Chain A
Amino acid sequence: MRKYDKLIFQLSREGRKAYALPKLDVEEVKIDELIPAEYISDEELKLPEVSEVDIIRHYTNLANKNYGVDTGFYPLGSCTMKYNPKINEDMVQLDGFKNIHPLQPEETVQGALRLMYELDKALCEISGMDKMTLQPAAGAHGELTGLALIKAYHENRGDTKRTKIIVPDSAHGTNPASAKMAGFDVIEIKSTDEGLVDIESLKAALSDEIAGLMLTNPNTLGLFEREIVEIAELVHEAGGLLYYDGANANAILGKVRPGDMGFDVVHFNLHKTFSTPHGGGGPGSGPVGVKKILMDFLPTPTVEKDGDRYYLNYDVPHTVGRMKDFYGHFSMMIRAYTYILMMGKDGLNRVSDVAVLNANYLASRLKDYYNLPEDTIYKHEFVMAGLKSDLSEVTTLDVAKRLLDYGYHPPTIYFPLIVHEALMTEPTESESKETLDEFADVLIKIAEEAKNNPELLKEAPHYTSVRRLDETRAARDPILKYEG
């Protein structure tokens, strides 16, 4: 393919345009009679002048330099890069969903409210919770919402000493960051050698200052926290609440529910478990579900039903307030609900069967070449601790960059932090055995290259649109916009 490295600004030519508006059909008034001259800008904007052809070619060329789930295998651990069904996109484009204003009278948006209500109910059933808020914009925003609920719960009881949140050292970075943002102090507890919550460390951390524990189950190592019942009992006995980070929920659909495990509040990532696209970084959606004890604290509005009428309820007695504008990422809710309807109870159960089967199969293919614990059952993902052969000069970064040459998106690297040289791999249910075999063959070949020709890895990638990029330079002398 032709090399393409222009910015849209470099295509600009005086006088070109890609738009046409109807002629103004009301009497034109001089602009400074509408708006006082002192408020009007006398500088011209730098926005480029380009034709529609320029735009389409430019962004098609950029798209060619990108890689999505539609391009190929994308085994990013904890990101659940499953296929994004095309019907989801079609449903979002329906006029009755796409072109409705959020502040329309309720009687003109009954279909939208009904969809939200039904999604709320479906997510409650899947999670084992009693009520959802669909407001959170993303997983991290769900965490912040859940923590706000935990905070409000303790405050409402006058239990103001509870200022600390426990987070395992295997947790996603958002967990401690969200806890801090919600005004808590973070207590990090060590994991066992196997990578599970260390019960003794947990006991030592518990006190009447603990507001709650945040846990991902299965955790970021792809391991199910087998002691979850005891963990929940310990936290509850100490007066704390349990927060379920739903990042890894793809492993447990129809198998076990956070609500039944003892969690009080949970978030789902619709962009992971429920097939809404990741969009190159967003928008996501992070609905939060709660048990009855937290229902009175939910953000407003919630979506309710009265007879045949659906409505927005602003009357929540101890609400934490509003977490975002309007009602959340509605178009993501449409996609997720489409997916839930398509898959049904049987299909969702099968999702977790195959997601877990795929992970265990891929791990079994790689265990002789990459460091993996013996005889472990994984859930939806597994974490390899780098190459098995002791090649100090070849790192996980090199393996990942070499994978780019073979046309695969690499696994998540250097996370979780507790695994040395981590390659966190999540195949999802979307991949066939052939894809997994081809990927395993490539990783095995890379392991051989690492032995025989380490330079090939150190200098990778060779075939991408750019070679290895200098991140240090980018951070040292930041260039964050085009200066022309």
Chain B
Amino acid sequence: MYPYIPNTKDDEKKMLEAIGIESVDELFKDIPESVRLNRELNLNPSMSELEVSRYLTKLSQQNRTVNEMTCFLGAGAYDHYIPSVVGHVISKSEFYTSYTPYQAEMSQGTLQYIFEYQTLICDLTGMDVSNASLYDGGTAIAEAAFMAANITRRNQIIISKTVNPQYRQVLKTYAHLQHLEIVEIEDDGGVTNLEELKKQISDKTAAVIVQNPNFFGIIEDVKSIEEVTHSVKKTLLIASMNPISLGILKKPSTLGVDIVVGEGQPLGISLQFGGPYLGFIATKKEFMRKLPGRIVGQTVDVEGNTGYVLTLQAREQHIRREKATSNICSNQGINTLAAVVYLVSLGKKGLREVAIQSAQKAHYAFKQITKSGKYKPLFDKPFFMEFAVTSDISPSVISKKLLEEDILGGYSLEEDYPQYKNGILYAVTEKRTREEIDKLSSVLEGII
């Protein structure tokens, strides 16, 4: 017997009788003999909870966590504070053991929190419509690019090299499948090179993609990029945003962005070695029917009570098959709930406070680290909560020395940006203390 399989041998006997066969093996006789396995799988035999838990705990202890070390690493995943209430709500098994809410009358809980999620994303971004989420920040960019190509009937995408290198890799992988042309714009001192953008953009361009704050943590001049983008008729502006930054920065809608995407991990989702996270996408009403993925809408029941359903499904794969706007068939479900609970826990004041504290502490760290001149700012542009410095010391040496002092250092830039040799990108969230930042700068100062 196994803990998750209730039927006994006696049940089995009765069931076989009812079916009118002798053994379970008869139920598999339609599998051709020539392809049957006819041996045991080469895996361990079943184990008890205690044994499994002991083994996996041992594996987990071979990792060093951001609770054991002080984390100054960001580059797309951030160590923000997560209020306790988030974990408690997402652990409710009525939520996490349910399926996609196809049977609306029995899924009002899921449908309503997705509706709340869509409302919150629209509030943060200022856009008209949000879907129920996508896999992550990178695939959200790829989906937005396909969406723009579909809307404009053009096949060139321009993307700034100040966008997260992983997002650009995902975009290139997806783009190759549909023969979209990807043009990358070099950076100019850490921001998108506007002159090069002007040169490259044409009536072949479906969309321009930027990130704000960009991969280097710098706040881009989105308004100027928007002016260049929209100087060409129909070309769309896609911006990937850090949602925490929207606690203080201008809403992308007011900057003329057409499709807003981003990585929602900072909104109450733990680091968990890179996933699952949360991709968000929001756009203007005119592009609503071109959005990929699930969307929830409000309606009424036969008695006039308010309720929620999956809607605009004529865009989706289970109805439209090969004519769908995307193949995506899930959303990030329970992670969207985490984002909702995070955002409503903080509220308008809290999100602003997280953004401001992160910015204040990042600027303090920047000042401390660059004070002596041993580490020089790589760029001189305004940043939010991440900044890059450079020095004569190799990033691997710095990383090693910091680890010895239980500090998880920044992200080495030179692999993705060979021109920024010895460049390191540090992230500072509201979680860091002055003491931790001072320790970082003093350890850095002592590295030879």
Contacts and interface: CB of A to CB of B under 8 A. Distances in A.
Given A282-B331, A357-B16, A52 B94 contact: no
9 contacts: A7-B116, A47-B350, A67-B106, A97-B273, A100-B273, A172-B318, A281-B132, A325-B139, A466-B104
Contact of B359 (A35, A321, A350): A35
Interface string B325-352: 0111111111101001101111111111
Interface stretch (A54-62, A201-209, A234-242): A54-62
B275 A19 contact: no
Interface stretch (A288-296, A387-395, A474-482): A474-482
A340 B42 CA distance: 12
Interface stretch (B170-178, B186-194, B203-211, B228-236): B170-178
Contacts of A68: 93-98
A125 interface: yes
A7 B346 CA distance: 17
Contacts of B448: none
A91 B44 contact: no
Contact of A70 (B56, B93, B295, B318): B93
Interface string A80-118: 011111010111101111111111110011111011000
Nearest to B219: A39
Contact of A48 (B36, B52, B324, B344): B344
Nearest to B56: A91
A172 B18 CA distance: 31
Task: With a 10 A CB-CB cut-off, give which of B118, B177, B250, B308 has the most chain A CB atoms.
Answer: B177
B64 A108 contact: yes
A471 B299 contact: yes
B12 to A, nearest CB: 6
B199 interface: no
Contacts of B97: 68-71, 84, 277-278
Contacts of A226: 30-32
A68 B106 CA distance: 9
Interface in B64-104: 64-67, 69, 71, 73, 75-77, 79, 81, 83, 85, 88-89, 91-104
B175 to A, nearest CB: 9
Nearest to B146: A181
Contacts of A479: 297-299
B13 to A, nearest CB: 10
Nearest to B40: A345
B236 to A, nearest CB: 19
Given A101-B73, A109-B63, A377-B30, A322 B166 contact: yes
B274 A348 contact: no
Given A100-B65, A469-B307, 6 more contacts: A18-B85, A176-B317, A322-B169, A429-B5, A473-B299, A480-B295
A407 to B, nearest CB: 9
Task: With a 10 A CB-CB cut-off, give which of A43, A180, A278, A474 has the most chain B CB atoms.
Answer: A474
B65 A95 contact: yes
A455 B135 CA distance: 42
Contacts of B98: 66-69, 278-280
Interface string A37-51: 011110111111110
A278 B2 contact: no
A81 B102 CA distance: 14
Contact of B24 (A17, A60, A353): A353
Q: Which 10 A-B pairs have the closest CB atoms?
A: A326-B274, A96-B60, A102-B274, A111-B62, A66-B109, A68-B97, A321-B173, A344-B46, A283-B276, A279-B333
B318 to A, nearest CB: 4
A27 interface: yes
Nearest to A43: B251
Contacts of B20: 364
Given A95-B67, A229-B35, A103 B330 contact: no
Interface in A435-469: 435, 459, 461, 464-469
A415 interface: yes
A330 B271 CA distance: 10
Contacts of A95: 60, 65, 67
Given A62-B108, A340-B43, A347-B2, A320 B173 contact: yes
Contacts of B320: 173, 177
Contacts of B107: 65-67, 280
Contacts, number: 671
Nearest to B412: A103
B275 A328 contact: yes
Contact of B28 (A62, A87, A179, A255): A255
Given A101-B71, A125-B42, A141-B135, A24 B275 contact: no
B130 interface: yes
B137 interface: yes
Given A19-B347, A26-B361, A179-B322, A324 B18 contact: no
A330 B275 contact: yes
Interface in A367-415: 377-379, 400-401, 404, 409-410, 412, 415
A419 interface: no
A344 B43 contact: yes
A31 interface: yes
A415 B316 CA distance: 15
B60 A94 contact: yes
Contact of A466 (B81, B92, B114, B307): B307
A183 B178 contact: yes
Given A126-B41, A341-B52, A342-B49, A59 B305 contact: no
B372 interface: no
Task: With a 10 A CB-CB cut-off, give which of B30, B275, B306, B351 has the most chain A CB atoms.
Answer: B275
B106 A21 contact: no
B430 interface: yes
B103 A410 contact: yes
A178 B317 CA distance: 9
B250 to A, nearest CB: 5
Contacts of A55: 85, 89, 341, 344-345
A360 interface: yes
B345 A52 contact: yes
Given A48-B347, A361-B19, A96 B317 contact: no
B92 A59 contact: yes
Given A325-B263, A433-B7, A96 B62 contact: yes
Contact of B116 (A49, A174, A332, A482): A482
Given A65-B109, A347-B46, A173 B273 contact: no
B81 A111 contact: no
B327 A430 contact: no
Interface string B1-36: 011111100011011101110001011111110111
B290 interface: no
B171 to A, nearest CB: 9
B15 A324 contact: no
Nearest to B248: A40
